[in-house]
Structure 1
Amino acid sequence: MTVKAITDEAHFQSELAAAGGKLIVVDFTAAWCGPCRNISRLFDQLPAKYPKAVFLKVDVNSLFIFYRARTKIDRMQGADINGLEAKIQKHYVASLYESGEDYGHGMLDLNTFIQKNQCEYLNESNDNPIVNALSSSGGYLVYDCDEQLIISITFNQLVKISAIKFKAPPSHGPKKVRIFINQPSTIDFDMAESQVSVQDLVLGQKDLVSGSPIPLHFVKFQNVHNMQLFVKDNHSGDETTIIDHLAFIGSPIASTKMDDFQRVSGKKGESHC
């Protein structure tokens, strides 16, 4: 694996498309910038350390951009190899969890685009918060006061959602689930029972064991900012509902073009790093 030098917009877009759900790190550099040249030598060594990521270089400035699914997820400016690797490791680990399965048609696990500090479920437990269920290795979500619960998920940008995944114990996993989108605030249980949902699901125990994607009516989930799930009951009928992993499959609406980037600061010949 090597760093690929980008030559033009078409080349840039083709590399973004080919990477799919992999982490992409782009070095916007400049030949006249001394610190840029110094970190460039170290940057060239990173593909060997992170073979599941894609590393690109654009001769502009010392600016690093991180992408997934053609969408910018982070950035870092300056010639700091330790800071760069810290960000790579953060997003690299996440991308390994989220891109291990090929969903086709440009679809991927949308975990990166979930604004986790804005997510909740009613009567959330301090020991088993919702973030546990948003990672395949992060623990689980449990609610033991009532089989019903409402889960609110907020995305950091508009997304399209084609499927949803629930992984849970077959006896205590969700059975009937009502889905609402783009609500101005978290709905309550009365609203969840009485309002018209976008789609209702009936999950089988096999669905919960396999954690396979459950298709949604894709045309109804084209501009989703938030999603609220009303778990109406579970398979056991008792007061404990457990979700090991909850995932949303789809794609972000925003795309990235090289025209979106400006020179970071200064003119050619001026130091900025």
Structure 2
Amino acid sequence: MEKKGSFIRVIEDEAHFRSEIQGAGTKLVVVDFTATWCGPCQRIAPIFEQLSTKYPRAVFLKVDVDRCQETAANEGVSAMPTFIFYRNKTKVDRLQGADPTGLENKVRLFYGADEGDTGESGESGVAGHMDLGVFLDKRQCECLNESDDHQFDGALTSDDKFLESDCDEQLILSITFNQTVKIHSIVIKGPVSNGPKNVKIFMNQPRTLDFDLANSYTSVQNLEITPEDLEQGNPINLRYVKFQNVQNLQLFFMDNQTGAATTRIDTIKFIGSPVTTTNMSDFKRVAGKIGESH
């Protein structure tokens, strides 16, 4: 396979592009749509190569739009440079223009949990699936009964922050995704002393449930989290057939392991895959003249 330097794979044609996207699995794929005559493309090329070295578990591809016109058209590229980001055969973002800082910020955003992970199952711990954190619409997510000092965002980071309930042990998390996903399992980490125990899961609710409704409604699935799950971060399998078309989840944490006054969640992750994947054979050519970005 032809490569630029040691890390960037140079795409030969549409079939080669399709093969690379599909073969990357759940790894982040960063594609540079470029042209030899494009000044900004040539200026940012060394930065792109440096990033391919700095983030070795991502796949970096370079597409010459003149050589691979079909691929450029299928991906809707009309100005250079354009960078498109994929996870699990799905477009997750794009960046147009020679912006070194913006480019690395997006690489870091989607590379995220891959750092330090060399296992075959990828960052999710489940073969064939990925951490769906990149698909969370955080503006639409909310938590009922969260502490002012330890809010929902604390459970989405890998640092020392955490989520904790406020006036009693119960919590309701309303999770919204920016595209439809399939959810295979959930990872929940927390202390054995006051980590969550019994959880009711609701799906595709029109609005956030209150505690009375969460108590009375029939859930899609109930979970009982074990101390081992909390300590080791084991993926807790869902009834996968029921979670094939998820736009939002509501999780009602009913209690904790020891009956403590508050419930604490250090980390929560949703493992699965997006419903809509990149199937290049289904794409239609996009009309329009390719031109340089200004």
The question of a shared fold, defined as TM-score above 0.5 by the shorter chain, is answered with yes
Show the counterpart of 1:69: 88
Deviations 1:139-197 (A, max 9, x none): 11001411111111111100000111111111211111100000000001111111111
Show the counterpart of 1:79: 98
3-state DSSP of counterpart to 1:147: coil
- Does 2:263 correspond to 1:241? yes
3-state DSSP of counterpart to 1:44: helix
Do the aligned residues in 2 keep the contact of 1:131 with 1:138 (CA within 8 Å)? no
Opposite residue 98 of structure 2, the aligned amino acid is A
Is there any run of 5+ residues in structure 1 with no aligned partner, and where?
A: none
Deviations 1:191-228 (A, max 9, x none): 11111110011112122111101111000000001000
Q: How does 1:110-259 map to 2 (within 5 A)?
A: 110-137=132-159, 139-258=161-280, 259=283
Do the aligned residues in 2 keep the contact of 1:266 with 1:272 (CA within 8 Å)? no
Show the counterpart of 2:15: 10
Do the aligned residues in 2 keep the contact of 1:3 with 1:56 (CA within 8 Å)? yes
3-state DSSP of counterpart to 2:92: strand
Question: Following the alignment from structure 2 to structure 1, what is the Cα–Cα distance between the partners of residues 222 and 275?
Answer: 24
Question: Following the alignment from structure 1 to structure 2, what is the Cα–Cα distance between the partners of residues 48 and 34?
Answer: 23
Query: Could you say if the C-alpha distance between residues 189 and 131 of structure 1 is closer, same or farther in structure 2, counting changes exceeding 3 Å?
Result: same
- Does 2:45 correspond to 1:22? no
By how many angstroms is 1:257 displaced?
4.4
Query: Could you say if the C-alpha distance between residues 97 and 165 of structure 1 is closer, same or farther in structure 2, counting changes exceeding 3 Å?
Result: farther
Query: Could you say if the C-alpha distance between residues 82 and 234 of structure 1 is closer, same or farther in structure 2, counting changes exceeding 3 Å?
Result: closer
Q: Equivalent pairs: percent with the same residue? A: 53
Opposite residue 258 of structure 2, the aligned amino acid is S
Opposite residue 92 of structure 1, the aligned amino acid is Y
Query: Could you say if the C-alpha distance between residues 201 and 90 of structure 1 is closer, same or farther in structure 2, counting changes exceeding 3 Å?
Result: closer
By how many angstroms is 1:262 displaced?
4.4
Do the aligned residues in 2 keep the contact of 1:107 with 1:249 (CA within 8 Å)? yes
By how many angstroms is 1:79 displaced?
2.2
Do the aligned residues in 2 keep the contact of 1:118 with 1:154 (CA within 8 Å)? yes
Question: Following the alignment from structure 1 to structure 2, what is the Cα–Cα distance between the partners of residues 212 and 127?
Answer: 27
Q: State TM-score, norm by structure 1.
A: 0.89
Is there any run of 5+ residues in structure 2 with no aligned partner, and where?
A: 1-5, 66-79
Corresponding pairs, count: 269
Q: Over aligned residues, Cα RMSD in angstroms?
A: 2.2
Query: Could you say if the C-alpha distance between residues 41 and 242 of structure 1 is closer, same or farther in structure 2, counting changes exceeding 3 Å?
Result: closer
Question: Following the alignment from structure 2 to structure 1, what is the Cα–Cα distance between the partners of residues 200 and 116?
Answer: 27
Query: Could you say if the C-alpha distance between residues 248 and 86 of structure 1 is closer, same or farther in structure 2, counting changes exceeding 3 Å?
Result: closer
By how many angstroms is 1:138 displaced?
5.4
3-state DSSP of counterpart to 1:254: coil
Question: Following the alignment from structure 2 to structure 1, what is the Cα–Cα distance between the partners of residues 176 and 8?
Answer: 35
Show the counterpart of 2:77: none
